[in-house]
């Protein structure tokens, strides 16, 4: 995003709930036959992993910017969708490419074989994979090739990859292609991070748990699922935890969220799900046996979603306003369903949409089950 532009947009969005079919009259440009001569590792000092990430990003020079592109289940170019405000984004559903965070996610996936940066630009700015952080006031002087640069006041909306010699590679905005540009450290430049260059995979938990990431600072685990339980551990910053099971217990309000679900960790301690990245009830985690899930309200019926970054809309239409998004699979309560806009995504085509208890709509493509669910017609 050009910090001098008055057309402010939030880049690096997660892939939305639906992607339209490829249009016959707008086609993406051919992938660059060879890496742009101006794109590459332009300064010494970067780790081998960072250099590989730079080369991966540079291999995409000339590919379309596409809002939501690069955020499919596996990192790589994908079709985007209309962002709801920018006229240049109207054809992003026909352009296979990357948004800003989709490109950096892909680059480090290619370099490490691990999906280190699955999320928005704001998520990446706060990533626990950062081995070093640089403030905006430091400018680009301490940066090495492969470092990620961010823009945004309060909420980060754009990310680019530093190349060295005052240059960076970025997926800029709708209507443009991945490009090399001079670094921009004015305006709302927020600083930079250096990604852990070891490339060493995190071993799976030996106790059968599931690894999740926490967020926030000074986060405490307790001896019981209650804020009055004795403190077992304190996490100074985001970290990985192994979750064994979860259950409804004491209701907690923190950081603007309220949740009564707590997760039991591998060491036997408890952590409120508020501080674990993901939906309020973690997907695939069994109940600890101490509670039962509240029944759906309003005569609705619970279903499980699939996919990542799935969005609900104010109307049964991908161009309607976004109401919510699910970073991971979660449970939704469906009131009724209707035939509406036909959507093609993830290899499926369906015109059925489900209305949820909050009044939002979700294409049935992302709801596990038949194309037409066993619920009433709206």
Catalytic residue ranges: 100, 158, 170
75 secondary structure, DSSP code: S
DSSP state of 201: P
For 300, list phi and psi in degrees, rounded to 5. -80, 175
What does the alpha-carbon distance between residue 93 and residue 256 come to, in Å, rounded to a whole number? 33
In the 8-state DSSP scheme, what is residue 206? Answer: T
74 Cβ contact list (under 8 Å, min separation 6): none
Q: For residues 38 and 61, is the Cβ–Cβ distance under 8 A? A: no
Tokens 């910090």 -> residue: 3
Cβ atoms of 356 and 336 within 8 Å: the answer is: no
Return d(Cα 73, Cα 261) in angstroms, integer: 27
Least Cα distance to 13 among 177, 163, 112, 124 occurs for: 124
Instruction: Check if the beta carbon of residue 226 is closer than 8 Å to that of residue 250.
Output: yes
- 110 close to 124: Cβ distance less than 8 angstroms: no
**Which residue matches tokens 């709509």?**
361
Angle at 221 between CA 216 and CA 225, to 5 degrees: 120
Neighbours of 85 (CB within 10 A): 10
Edge-to-edge strand ranges of the sheet holding 130-134? 130-134, 189-195, 148-151, 158-164, 167-170, 179-182
Rounded Cα distance, 69 and 218, in Å: 34
Q: What angle do CA 70, 73, 78 make, to 5 degrees?
A: 30
Tokens 């991971």 found at: 328
Please list, in sequence order, all residues whose beta carbon lies within 8 angstroms of the beta carbon of residue 109, skipping any fewer than 6 positions away. Answer: 75, 115, 116, 117
């Amino acid at each position: 995003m050009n910090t001098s532009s008055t057309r402010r947009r939030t880049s690096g969005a997660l892939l939305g709930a639906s992607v339209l079919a490829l249009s016959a009259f707008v086609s993406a440009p051919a992938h660059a036959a060879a890496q742009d001569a101006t794109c590459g590792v332009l300064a010494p000092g970067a780790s081998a992993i960072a250099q590989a990430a730079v080369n991966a990003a540079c291999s995409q020079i000339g590919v379309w910017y596409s809002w939501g592109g690069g955020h499919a289940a596996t990192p790589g170019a994908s079709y985007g969708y209309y962002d709801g405000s920018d006229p240049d984004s109207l054809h992003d559903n026909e352009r296979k490419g990357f948004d800003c965070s989709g490109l950096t996610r892909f680059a480090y996936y290619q370099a490490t074989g691990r999906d280190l940066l699955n999320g928005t630009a704001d998520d990446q700015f706060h990533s626990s994979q950062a081995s070093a952080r640089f403030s905006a006031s430091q400018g680009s002087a301490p940066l090495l090739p492969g470092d990620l640069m961010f823009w945004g006041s309060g909420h980060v909306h754009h990310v680019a990859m530093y190349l060295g010699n005052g240059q960076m590679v970025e997926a800029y905005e709708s209507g443009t292609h991945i490009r090399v540009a001079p670094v921009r450290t004015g305006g709302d430049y927020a600083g930079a991070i250096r990604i852990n260059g070891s490339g060493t995979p995190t071993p799976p938990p030996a106790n059968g748990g599931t690894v999740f990431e926490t967020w926030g600072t000074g986060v405490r685990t307790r001896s019981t699922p209650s804020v009055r339980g004795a403190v077992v551990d304190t996490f100074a910053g985001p970290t990985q935890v192994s979750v064994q099971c979860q259950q409804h217990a004491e209701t907690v309000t923190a950081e603007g969220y309220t949740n009564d679900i707590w997760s039991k960790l591998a060491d036997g301690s408890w952590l409120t799900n508020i501080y674990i990245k993901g939906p309020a009830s973690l997907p695939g985690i069994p109940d600890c046996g101490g509670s039962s899930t509240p029944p759906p309200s309003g005569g609705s019926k619970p279903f499980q979603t699939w996919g990542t970054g799935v969005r609900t809309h104010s109307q049964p239409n991908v161009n309607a306003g976004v109401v919510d998004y699910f970073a991971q699979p979660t449970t939704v309560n469906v009131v009724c369903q209707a035939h509406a806009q036909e959507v093609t995504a993830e290899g499926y085509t369906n015109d059925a949409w489900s209305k949820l208890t909050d009044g939002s709509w979700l294409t049935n493509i992302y709801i596990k089950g038949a194309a037409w669910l066993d619920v009433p017609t709206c």
